[in-house]
Amino acid sequence: MLRTHTCGELRLEHINQEVTLAGWIQRVRNKGGLIWVDLRDRYGVTQLIFEEGSTEKALLEKASQLGREFVVQATGKVIERTSKNDKIPTGHIEIKADSLQVLNAAKVPPFIIEDETDGGDELRMKYRYLDLRRNVVREKLQLRHRMMQETRRYMDDQQFIEVETPVLIKSTPEGARDFVVPSRVNPGEFYALPQSPQTFKQLLMVSGFDRYFQIVKCFRDEDLRADRQPEFTQIDCEMSFVDQEDILSTFEGLTKHLFNTVKGVQLEEVKRMTYADAMKFYGNDKPDLRFDMKFVELNDLAKGKGFGIFDSAELVVGICAKGAAEYTRKQLDALTEWVKRPQIGAKGLVYVKYNADGSLKSTVDKFYSAEDLTQWAQAFNAEPGDLMLVLSGEEGKVRKQLSELRLKMGEELGLRDRNVFKPLWVVDFPLLEWDEETERFHAMHHPFTSPKREDIPLLETNPGAVRANAYDLVINGVEIGGGSIRIHDRPTQQLMFKHLGFSEEEAQKQFGFLMEAFEYGAPPHGGIAFGFDRLCAIFGGSDSIRDYIAFPKNNSGRDVMIDSPSSIAEDQLEELSIRVQLKK
């Protein structure tokens, strides 16, 4: 090694030892015949000292010429510092350097490489390898590593076997669009990149693997959105001979293990909520439970009092923001404007202030008496000092709008603390959801999800009411993962495809291999997939590895791997003997 110790390792116990360190120059200070140099590596920072008189002149000269980010190797004796720095672990010692070698010089970096930097997003993305030198950025990737290690440790302890499923696969259309990969060895044929290893893992269950997992890259050729990347990482799992409860408890265990070992947080028990309740009380299938602020339906109290907007609405529903009665007129106007933005789409906002003196003041005083509003307050369980916010309209839409407003109020009132974690299992998802565009039912989870046995008869009469053995893990309003108990017999799987509008031929062509496998002794099984990127983000880590290596922050949709867009030149395509034309 070009060093005897790292820059984060030396302590008072090393005093008088001759050591060699190597790293990057963080800072050079030169004052009154003394030169201090902060030497940095991944493990920490150690101070080197050069002193006029006791340090050789040539060495002093060399030290004074060091620039930021030079890579050097220095040898010297560990001495005790006269003025100690308690902020860093190596702050009680320094190195009296007696030799110094520049291993590589460095140009002046385009931005300051410290926790607080002057580099804008674009510049830091262009020089991603320099941005990654900053502790705050590098630590996000280290956290990601820790999460992977601990996930594998837990899964291995639970007897799960990690199996690498292929990346170059046969195309099996799922929800999103596959990337396709032309093969030059087999002209005219294509591989697809997997959107998930779903069918592979089900086949592994048919094979008797019993417990499978994989931390695996998945791919979708879709527009990039804030929370979508063309490649993303999943903790993918499947278990045999289980019911839903077994899966929930196993992965509640994993979640707790990760919080405990990686973050030092003792996670509370994961609550359960049905999809129906989540929609009813939070207007959202991934409610943020760091704060309560449940929906209260007001149809009974608010209709029939002459207020036309409410009278004609399918649903009148509101939330009670604790302690927000002191919101100013200006703040309330801003909220009203906010809900009316096209992204939210509400027509307007009704509010009722429950003043500290017990009086009630609303924007609809013309239609509702003090007594009426007192009844509202009772329905909201409101107290003096609270602010009630009410929306109305078509049920589905108004719930979504109020869900957004609830989250905004939570944000404004400081109820969404990043260091508080409220996990939740949302269960009993509908099996099917109606798609307005194609005018047919789609699988809400995927076509392999099993309906609840008691709801199967409803498939013929009221498909939208059929509940699935499907579940999502939600933490702080973020869907971390989801899964289901699968169908494991051919007749049920065929029935499912039929209700999804597949012809028998289509179903056979696309998924015949799976249905055939079910005929050779498929065990009952189910599984789950966690979005590893989102989970890391919840922990404060990188939310996407591409974000940290390849993609610009602005999600412009162009791959800027390293420093330039990823286009293959015309002549290269020629050489590759592949030509691709995109239809208008």
Task: Confirm or reject binding of residue 192 to its own copies (CB under 8 A).
Answer: yes
Task: Confirm or reject binding of residue 244 to its own copies (CB under 8 A).
Answer: no
Give the integer Cα–Cα distance in Å for 428 and 484.
10
Q: Which stretch binds its own copies (CB under 8 A): 74-82, 222-230, 307-315, 470-478?
A: 222-230
Task: Confirm or reject binding of residue 228 to its own copies (CB under 8 A).
Answer: no
Q: Which of residues 38-57 bind its own copies (CB under 8 A)?
A: 40-43
Residue of 34, 59, 79, 106 interacting with its own copies (CB under 8 A): 106
Residue of 32, 53, 188, 342 interacting with its own copies (CB under 8 A): 188
Give the full edge-to-edge strand order of the sheet including 211-219.
Answer: 161-162, 211-219, 231-240, 525-531, 478-485, 470-475, 423-427, 271-274
Residues 286/352, Cβ–Cβ less than 8 Å: no
Task: Pull the structure tokens for residue 126.
Answer: 């262009």
- How far is the CA of 161 from the CAs of 158, 201, 384, in angstroms? 9, 11, 57
Give the full edge-to-edge strand order of the sheet including 315-321.
Answer: 296-297, 315-321, 387-393, 350-354, 360-362
Whether residue 308 is annotated as binding a ligand: the answer is no
Task: Pull the structure tokens for residue 228.
Answer: 């979508």
Helix or strand (DSSP H, E) at 349: none
Residue of 190, 338, 367, 502 interacting with its own copies (CB under 8 A): 190
Q: How many chain residues interact with its own copies (CB under 8 A)?
A: 125
Smallest gap from Cβ 117 to its own copies, in A, equals 14
Give the integer Cα–Cα distance in Å for 239 and 249.
12
Smallest gap from Cβ 340 to its own copies, in A, equals 32
Which phi and psi angles does 316 have, rounded to 5°? -110, 125
Whether residue 220 is annotated as binding a ligand: the answer is yes
Smallest gap from Cβ 405 to its own copies, in A, equals 32
Q: Which of residues 110-139 bind its own copies (CB under 8 A)?
A: 127-130, 132-133, 138
Residues 360/370, Cβ–Cβ less than 8 Å: yes
Task: Confirm or reject binding of residue 579 to its own copies (CB under 8 A).
Answer: yes
Whether residue 486 is annotated as binding a ligand: the answer is yes
Residues 212/237, Cβ–Cβ less than 8 Å: yes
Residue of 340, 489, 508, 552 interacting with its own copies (CB under 8 A): 489
Closer by beta carbon to its own copies, 41 or else 285 = 41
Classify burial at 375, counting beta carbons within 10 Å of its beta carbon; exposed 0-12, middle 13-18, buried 19 or more.
middle
Tell me whether strands 387-393 and 231-240 are parallel, antiparallel or unpaired.
unpaired
Q: Which of residues 13-32 bind its own copies (CB under 8 A)?
A: 22-24
Closer by beta carbon to its own copies, 366 or else 453 = 453
Residue of 79, 123, 181, 478 interacting with its own copies (CB under 8 A): 181
Whether residue 56 is annotated as binding a ligand: the answer is no
Closer by beta carbon to its own copies, 444 or else 549 = 549
Task: Confirm or reject binding of residue 164 to its own copies (CB under 8 A).
Answer: yes
Whether residue 534 is annotated as binding a ligand: the answer is yes
Task: Confirm or reject binding of residue 189 to its own copies (CB under 8 A).
Answer: yes
Kindly write down the DSSP assignment for every residue of 441-479, as one continuous string: EEESS-TTBPBPGGGTTHHHH-GGG-BBSEEEEEETTEE
What angle (nearest 5°) sits at the alpha carbon of residue 329, between those of residues 326 and 334?
A: 105
Number of Cβ within 10 Å of residue 59's Cβ equals 17
Residues 338/404, Cβ–Cβ less than 8 Å: no
Closer by beta carbon to its own copies, 174 or else 210 = 210
Task: Confirm or reject binding of residue 170 to its own copies (CB under 8 A).
Answer: yes
Smallest gap from Cβ 263 to its own copies, in A, equals 18
Task: Confirm or reject binding of residue 156 to its own copies (CB under 8 A).
Answer: yes
Smallest gap from Cβ 204 to its own copies, in A, equals 7
Closer by beta carbon to its own copies, 243 or else 268 = 243
Q: Which of residues 512-551 bind its own copies (CB under 8 A)?
A: 512-514, 516-524, 545-546, 549-550
Task: Confirm or reject binding of residue 37 to its own copies (CB under 8 A).
Answer: no
3-state class (DSSP) for residue 258: helix
Nearest-CA neighbor of 495 among 527, 523, 526, 455?
455
Mask: binding to its own copies, 434-473, rule CB under 8 A, as x and -? ----------------------------------------
Q: Which stretch binds its own copies (CB under 8 A): 47-55, 329-337, 419-427, 562-570?
A: 562-570
Which phi and psi angles does 159 have, rounded to 5°? 70, 20
Give the number of C-alpha atoms closer than 13 A to the C-alpha of residue 343, restricted to the C-beta side: 5
Closer by beta carbon to its own copies, 132 or else 309 = 132
Task: Confirm or reject binding of residue 330 to its own copies (CB under 8 A).
Answer: no
Nearest-CA neighbor of 531 among 234, 253, 237?
234
| Annotated binding-site members | 174, 220-222, 229, 445, 479, 486, 531-534
| Annotated binding-site members for L-aspartate | 174, 220, 445, 486
